[in-house]
């Protein structure tokens, strides 16, 4: 069901968004060569406890997951595109790492993701992350009253195609509110002028993710991590965005 949020409810979601952004900031700052992914998960868990917030991941078990997720943050490294399950792995120089985090604060959810390079960057990795960020910015810019879902999707897709990337539309943006994943689905490619009309009070997570060499993925034996079929690296960025009469409001903006 697609729900319209009141200005008061959006303010409550903004509090959740501020917390989610702060956790991503602190977790990203802790990333360095030699840091274990389990250490990053423990840090995010500590921050949840300190805030009195609830994890959206730890008991999450959708149809595509092999079991309850069991951790509080997604850590996707190199060819892991989405849903990276934290495990005993120490970051290496040149790794591409995506952090995806969602939490509920006083019953309201926000969801966000970023991608960074650990240590020495490779130019092609930097370009991929920049393309994903440009696509996110374009999708947010299209999230205005009077447009449609297809306008968001088309804006994202046009950036990816211009960079020569293939686009997977199986996973993408989604509604956010009392739960992490709600209607509607917002694919990362589409036709402008199609789909749900955008109204003030809609709140979405907009999340471009791309892989360097393919648009096909497979599930890791851990039952969660989605990897590029050809082993190419991936980037994933995401913000929770409220549509208002004054324009899109990014609830998970980071400092």
Taking only the tens place, the pLDDT of each residue in 166-213 is: 999 999 999 999 999 999 999 999 999 999 999 999 999 999 999 999
The CATH number assigned to the domain holding 186 equals 3.90.230.10
Q: Tell me if 1 is assigned to some domain.
A: no
Contact predicate 226/80, CB 8 Å: yes
Q: Show Cβ contacts of residue 42 under 8 Å, excluding neighbours closer than 6 positions.
A: none
Q: What is the extent of the structural domain holding 30?
A: 7-250
Asked whether residue 179 is domain-assigned, the answer is yes
Q: Distance of CA 207 to CAs 13, 66, 91, 146, 156, Å?
A: 18, 23, 24, 21, 9
255: in domain: no
Q: What is the pTM (predicted TM-score) of this model?
A: 0.96
DSSP labels, 14-60? HHHHHHHHHHHHHHHHT--TT-BHHHHHHHHHHHHHHHT-EESSTT-
- Count of structural domains, the chain: 1
**Strands of 80-82's sheet in order across:** 80-82, 226-228, 217-219
Given a contact cutoff of 8 angstroms between Cβ atoms, the answer to whether 15 and 109 are in contact is: no
CA distance 101 to 98: 10
The SS3 assignment for 188 reads coil
If you average pLDDT over residues 103-127, what whole number do you get? 97
48 domain-assigned: yes
Structure tokens at 253: 């903006």
Within-domain flag for 146: yes
CA 156, CA 161: separation in Å to the nearest integer?
Answer: 9
Q: Which residue in 147, 111, 135, 113 sits closest to 247, CA to CA?
A: 147
Q: Sign of torsion, CA 56 61 65 70?
A: positive
- pLDDT of the residue at 65: 83
Give pLDDT tens digits for 38-79: 999 999 999 999 999 999 999 988 888 888 999 999 999 999
């Amino acid at each position: 069901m697609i729900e319209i949020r009141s200005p008061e409810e959006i303010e409550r979601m903004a509090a959740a968004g501020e917390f989610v952004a702060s956790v991503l900031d602190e977790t990203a700052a802790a990333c360095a060569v030699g840091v274990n992914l389990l250490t990053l998960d423990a840090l995010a868990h500590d921050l949840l406890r300190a805030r009195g917030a609830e994890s959206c991941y730890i008991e999450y078990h959708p149809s595509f997951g092999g079991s309850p997720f069991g951790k509080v943050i997604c850590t996707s490294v190199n060819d892991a595109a989405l849903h990276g399950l934290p495990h005993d792995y120490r970051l290496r120089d040149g790794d591409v790492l995506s952090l995806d985090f969602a939490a509920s604060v006083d019953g309201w959810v926000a969801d966000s993701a970023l991608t960074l390079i650990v240590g020495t960057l490779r130019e092609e990795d930097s370009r991929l992350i920049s393309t994903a960020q440009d696509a996110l910015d374009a999708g947010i810019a299209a999230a205005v009253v009077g447009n449609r879902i297809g306008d968001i999707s088309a804006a994202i897709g046009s950036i990816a195609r211009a960079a020569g990337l293939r686009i997977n539309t199986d996973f993408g943006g989604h509604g956010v509110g009392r739960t992490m994943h709600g209607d509607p689905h917002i694919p990362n490619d589409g036709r402008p002028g199609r789909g749900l009309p955008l109204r003030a009070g809609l709140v979405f997570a907009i999340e471009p993710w791309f892989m360097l060499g393919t648009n096909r993925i497979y599930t890791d034996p851990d039952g969660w991590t989605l990897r590029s079929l050809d082993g190419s690296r991936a980037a994933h960025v995401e913000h929770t965005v409220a549509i208002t009469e004054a324009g899109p409001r990014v609830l998970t903006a980071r400092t």
